[in-house]
Amino acid sequence: MSESSLYAVPLTMIDGSPTTFGQFAGKTVLVVNVASRCGFTPQYAGLEALYRRFADDGLVVLGLPCNQFMGEEPGSEEEIQQFCEVNFGVTFPLTAKVDVRGKHQHPLYSQLTAFKKGVLPGLIKWNFEKFLVNADGVIVDRFASTVEPESAQLVGAIEKALARAAA
């Protein structure tokens, strides 16, 4: 999987503006499929805390709303954005809703789920799974929904990726 292939993936941001994953080139990106009505929804607070803590070091948290798991993200993009801002003070970027698996799987998730390292290869199992992409556009880690954003495991992986980028 080459750097250019991940960076070429098209994205539509939550405000409807088109871009590519390449807008994050040179940044460490934590990609998370998110939902507003999930048992893991409180992780928005931890994701925002991570973003604020490490943004100046080059971390971007990218939330991709998904309604594929028990209809836990039923709202429109405008409703999702408002929910995130009002309830969790989210300032990190969000995309328009995507499918993370199945026939209409978003191209970003086609590449992310090809990552085989760790205990979670293959399909996305639930909301709030996390992928860490380093500043070179290489997927370096994957974390289950149960891994809290501010856990030592995730923070350590982010710090390692940021240190590598700074070196």
Per-residue pLDDT reduced to its tens digit, 74-108: 999 999 999 999 999 999 999 999 999 999 999 99
- Domain residues for the domain of 98 are 3-166
Residue 41 CA to residue 52 CA, distance in Å, equals 18
Mean pLDDT of 110-127: 79
Highest average pLDDT, of 119-123, 124-128, 163-167, comes from 124-128
Q: Quick check: 167 pLDDT over 80?
A: no
Least confident of 19-33, 57-71, 113-127: 113-127
pLDDT band of residue 117 (cuts 50, 70, 90) is low
Residue length of the chain: 167
Residue 10 CA to residue 96 CA, distance in Å, equals 12
Residues of the chain with pLDDT > 90, as a percent, come to 86
- Tell me if 125 sits within 8 A of 146, measured CB to CB: no
- pLDDT value of position 159: 97
Query: For position 129, which CATH number holds?
Result: 3.40.30.10
Residue 49 CA to residue 109 CA, distance in Å, equals 24
Distances (CA, A) of 93 to 28, 116, 164: 14, 26, 23
DSSP string, 115-137: --SSS--SS--STT-EEEE-TTS
pLDDT tens for 128-145 read: 999 999 999 999 999 999
Q: Quick check: 2 pLDDT over 70?
A: no
- pLDDT value of position 120: 59
pLDDT band of residue 164 (cuts 50, 70, 90) is confident
Least confident of 65-69, 77-81, 160-164: 160-164
Catalytically annotated residues = 38
- Tell me if 127 sits within 8 A of 34, measured CB to CB: yes
Virtual CA dihedral for 11, 15, 17, 19, nearest 10 degrees? -30
Q: Where are the beta strands (DSSP E) in the chain?
A: 10-12, 18-20, 28-34, 59-65, 130-133, 139-143
Structurally, how many domains does the chain consist of? 1
Q: Where are the beta strands (DSSP E) in 18-158?
A: 18-20, 28-34, 59-65, 130-133, 139-143
